[in-house]
Amino acid sequence: MKRVLIADDDESIRWVLRKTVAGMGFAADLAEDGDKALSLLSRHDYAAAFVDIRMPGVEGIEVLERAQARKSPTRFFIMTAVRRPDAAARATRAGAAEFITKPFDIERIEKLLEEVEKESASRESPFHEADVEEWKSARIVGRSRAILEVFQNVGKVADSDATVLLLGERGVGKELVARCIHELGSPGSPFVAVNASAIPKELLEAELFGFEKGAFTGADTAREGKFEAAAGGTLFLDEIGDTPSELQGKLLRVLQEREFTRLGSNRPLRFKGRVIAATNRDLRRLAEEGRFREDLFDRLNVFPIRLPALSERREDIPLLADFFLQKYGALLSRPPRSFSREALEELSAHNWKGNVRELENFVQRLSVLSTGKLLRRDEVARELAKTEGVPDLSTAPLEQVIEERIREFARRLGSSIGDEDNLHELFLRQMEKPLIKVVMEASGGNQIKAAGILGINRNTLRKKLVALSLLPRKRKRKSR
């Protein structure tokens, strides 16, 4: 059972929080002062700690700072009865996940514990459904149905020497999956990757097959190619759809006959290894158009695996974001950090055109720029806006602010921005109730005044109030 530390000199607070965490399935340890809290933290591992700022002896923030100096994985929630911005800032800098003002709402405590439970579960066993320990070394992260199907296909083909064709958009992790197949099927053997689109076509043949001394101007010594380097292991041909047509026939011969020759040589060499190819292009269509050999496509398409775009596995985005945050935090020697629930919602709603690669680059940038232990929605949204060239709205005209908010609303819905009429209608329908509610509150419940502010007549306003359930219900008169 996971444990939670509750440190507060107020007995009633300790009692309420103990009952709450117990109801969520956690064991609770209690401390009435900072010294006991530090003693407990040194002896036990806690999933979370609720710590009051003002306690006898060592104060709450110092407890947090000492624990973080030991790189404690505990998620700290700092509590206070005094609203002090300086204390909140210090707590956040020290690594507090949340700053809770008393009196607190029990539902909020329960939601924070739910986040702790989810975070612990994802870190303990992100791949429990695949039940294969090696996935961790391959660093494939996800639990969605779409990615689990990829896991299953990788498991089926890993022990064979069948040619694999990985299909998917840019940035979905094709090389990562190729490495995973290799590590599961041929651990310890060479893995050699070649990007066909990154090498000039006049050099690609020499790069793949090698060359003898004097094969061409500048060939002062013989050199082995990638096929020889990958002997006994795996040759990964990325962006295979960009292979020059004159080279496609030679690749076909390797796949058919399992042999090749170096440039400048007539002696055939055997290739004993596996070929994994990858592309983000439609090879079947290219073959139909005559831009890719049909027989080569058939040879490559022995075991196709389609990798889903990130938009097809949005439920994996929080796991991926947290994985990358911990990865780059370790590289930068930063203490453990986390995203707030709202920040993860912001990331999940974003349209990642570059898929996992774009998400990783974004989290890496956040890891460098962010100084806090908890990354919040406003920070994430601000950096996302920079990547899309969205202007700063803090000083923008009201019309521009509204327009950008509508576009943000459309992105969250996955709606097409091109359908402006439908989009505005949908946006207005969603904002109508909160707008009328705010205006009614501002006018003190005066419907005539509120109707004037909204630019509609009173009867129209009254109908909307009834339809939106904003009118208080009339009490039934008791019959005498």
The answer to whether residue 479 scores a pLDDT higher than 70 is: no
Q: What is the DSSP string of 121-176?
A: HHHH-TTTTTT-THHHHHT----SHHHHHHHHHHHHHTTS---EEEE--TTS-HHH
Q: Which fold has domain 3-124?
A: Rossmann fold (3.40.50)
Number of C-beta neighbours around residue 284 at 10 A: 12
- Residue that is written with structure tokens 């990007």 in the block: 195
Residue 21 has pLDDT above 60, yes or no: yes
Per-residue model confidence (pLDDT) at position 132 = 32
Q: Residue range 67-86: average pLDDT? A: 75
Which pLDDT belongs to residue 408?
A: 65
- For the chain, what's the residue count? 480
pLDDT at 425 over 70: no
Give the sheet arrangement for strand 303-306, strand by strand.
191-195, 234-238, 274-279, 164-167, 303-306
Residue 177 has pLDDT above 90, yes or no: yes
Q: What are the structural domain ranges in the chain?
A: 3-124, 134-308, 316-387, 416-467
Dist CA 140 CA 146 (whole Å): 13
- The enclosing H or E element of 259 equals strand 259-260
* Number of Cα atoms under 13 Å in the Cβ half of residue 294: 5
Q: Enumerate residues 6+ apart whose C-beta is below 8 A from 318.
A: 122, 339, 344, 347, 348
Superfamily of domain 134-308: P-loop containing nucleotide triphosphate hydrolases (3.40.50.300)
Residue type, 1: M
pLDDT of residue 134: 33
pLDDT of 212 above 50: yes
Q: Is 303 exposed, middle or buried (0-12, 13-18, 19+ CB in 10 A)?
A: middle
Alpha carbons 381 and 410: distance in angstroms, whole number: 15
CATH of 316-387, one of 1.10.230.10, 1.10.8.60, 3.30.565.10, 1.10.3210.10: 1.10.8.60
Q: For the segment 107-132, what is each residue's pLDDT rounded down to a tens digit?
A: 888 888 887 876 665 444 333 333 33
**Spatial distance between the Cα atoms of 165 and 277, rounded to a whole number of angstroms:** 5
Whole-angstrom distance, CA of residue 240 vs CA of residue 300: 10
Q: Mean pLDDT, the chain, as a whole number?
A: 82
Q: Which residue has the higher pLDDT, 453 or 310?
A: 310
Residue 277, pLDDT above cutoff 70: yes
- Whether 419 has a pLDDT exceeding 60, the answer reads no
Where does 416-467 sit in CATH, by number?
1.10.10.60
Fold matches, 134-308 and 416-467: no
Which candidate, 141, 476, 197, places its Cα nearest to that of 327? 141
The C-alpha atoms of residue 135 and residue 380 are separated, in whole angstroms, by 29
Q: What would the mean pLDDT of 439-456 be, rounded to a whole number?
A: 84
Average pLDDT over residues 73-94: 71
- Name residue, tokens 């700053």: 99
Comparison of pLDDT for 411 and 218, the residue scoring more: 218
| 465 has a pLDDT exceeding 90 | no
> Nearest-CA neighbor of 215 among 266, 268, 264, 265?
264
Q: Residue 404 pLDDT more than 90?
A: no
Q: How confident is the model at residue 410 (pLDDT cuts 50, 70, 90)?
A: low
Write phi, then psi, for 292 (nearest 5 degrees): -150, 135
More confident site: 188 or 387:
188
Q: What tens digit of pLDDT does each residue of 217-273 get?
A: 777 888 888 999 999 999 999 999 999 988 999 999 999 999 998 988 888 899 989
